[in-house]
Structures are given as structure tokens and as C-alpha cells.
Amino acid sequence: MDRSLARIILTGVILCFASRSSAQEQSLIVSARANGGSASVLVDVCGPLSTVESIVGPSSLIVRGTVRSAKTKLSPDEAYVVTEYELIPFRLYKGSLPPLDRPGAQPPIRFTIPFGTLDIDGMHLSTTVNVFPAAEMPRPGEEIIAFLYQSPDWHTYALWGGEYAAFRVIDGQVVGLTRGARVNHGDKPEPIAQFEQHLLAALSK
């Protein structure tokens, strides 16, 4: 199996792919064809710890909603597998949503997280990111709060601030998306009303 090593760095709070090896310049599909039908990318993340205060400004959309679906796909340059989520919004803290074409439910917001496995034409492709353990990623039916920005190249949203840019809402309590984020922050479950008060105070500054 071809295993390319990449590194994600944080410039401010935005995730950027950097230090790409020559093998990674080609698509995962090309790599898989040259390596027996499998190709994977391992991603290590280094960067500063982000807080709600540090990511509210750069985030173009901050929303609370329910995850409707999750599916894996290739990034536009085919260098990574990503998981694309559909989020049904029911509270908007910052930004705006497209107007409804007709009366009814708000269409879902699509955003991606870089991780996942994908089988295409008999080839097995995967991306593993140290700060996004697959077992801890959002699942359909879960309620989350996400801090997002829109990528013009991807025509979808992504997390602004990596693993620190999404929170689960469980039984009225807000917790960080991953165990790593919670440990790094020293977080404890916080009532949703208290979290929203904290968020709105940061937005008002």
C-alpha cells in the first residue's frame, strides 16, 4: 500500500494542507493504480489551540443543527478522502443562509471534514487525520454547533479551527467534538444556554 505523509498546519485558525510529498501531488486514484489498488494518506496536524473567542471572527457561518447524512468523497484535486455532512440548521448565530426557493424546511448546509475511506472501481482509498478520529466524528441524527467558512474551490463549507470548531449538544449539554479537543481545552460539559451566552458575548465584541 502506498502511504503518503502530509502535514496540516494552522495559519491563524484556518486549516491548510502543506509540505505535500511528490507522491501526493498526484491523485489517490493514480497512486492506487500504481500500487496494487490501494492508496492512503496519513495526516499529522500541528497548530495553536483555538478558542470560541478566536474563531468567531473569521468564521463566516456559525450554526446549530442536526446532522442528516454523512458520505465520503474525494477532494476536488483527488489528493484526499473527505467526509461530507449535510446539516439541517435550526439556529443561526452568524452569517446567512440561501433564501428558500419555496416554502418549507431550510435546505441542508454541506460541510466537509478531511478523513474517511472510499472504494472506487475496485480501488481502496483512505485519509487518516490524527485530530479527527473516525469513531468520534459526527453521525446522522446528532445535534452539533459548527463554526464554518466557505471554500470557493470546494463549493462547500469546512470547519474553521479544525477539531476546535465543532461541538456536540447532548441532553442539553455542549461538549467538544473530540476527546483530544476536550482534553486540550480542559473542557467540561456546559449547558447550552450558558454556551450560547458565551458565544453571543464573543460575537458582540
Query: Does position 55 have pLDDT exceeding 60, yes or no?
Result: yes
Does residue 156 have a pLDDT over 50? yes
What's the confidence (pLDDT) of residue 48? Answer: 76
**In this structure, what are the phi and psi dihedrals at residue 193, rounded to the nearest 5 degrees?**
-65, -40
Output the average pLDDT for the chain. Answer: 84
In the prediction, which pLDDT does 14 show? 34
Range with the poorest average pLDDT among 83-87, 97-101, 118-122: 97-101
- pLDDT at 20 exceeding the cut of 50: no
Mean of pLDDT values over 129-154: 92
Q: What CATH number did the domain enclosing 20 receive? A: 2.40.50.120
Q: Where does 47-80 show beta strands of DSSP type E? A: 61-74
Task: For residue 67, give every residue at least 6 positions away whose Cβ sits within 8 Å of its Cβ, in sequence order, or none.
Answer: 85, 86, 87, 88, 138, 139, 140, 141, 142, 143, 144
The Cβ of residue 156 has, within 10 Å, a number of other Cβ atoms equal to: 17
| Beta-carbon contacts of residue 65 (< 8 Å; ≥ 6 apart) | 87, 88, 89, 90, 91, 109, 143, 144, 146
Report how many domains make up the chain: 1
Domain range spanning residue 9? 2-204
- How far apart (Å, rounded) are the C-alpha atoms in residues 171 and 159? 23
Who has greater pLDDT, 188 or 173? 173
Give the per-residue pLDDT at 100: 64
Please give the residue that has the higher pLDDT: either 139 or 97. 139
Determine which helix (DSSP H) or strand (DSSP E) holds 16, and give its type and residue range. strand 14-18
Q: Residue 104 has what pLDDT? A: 66
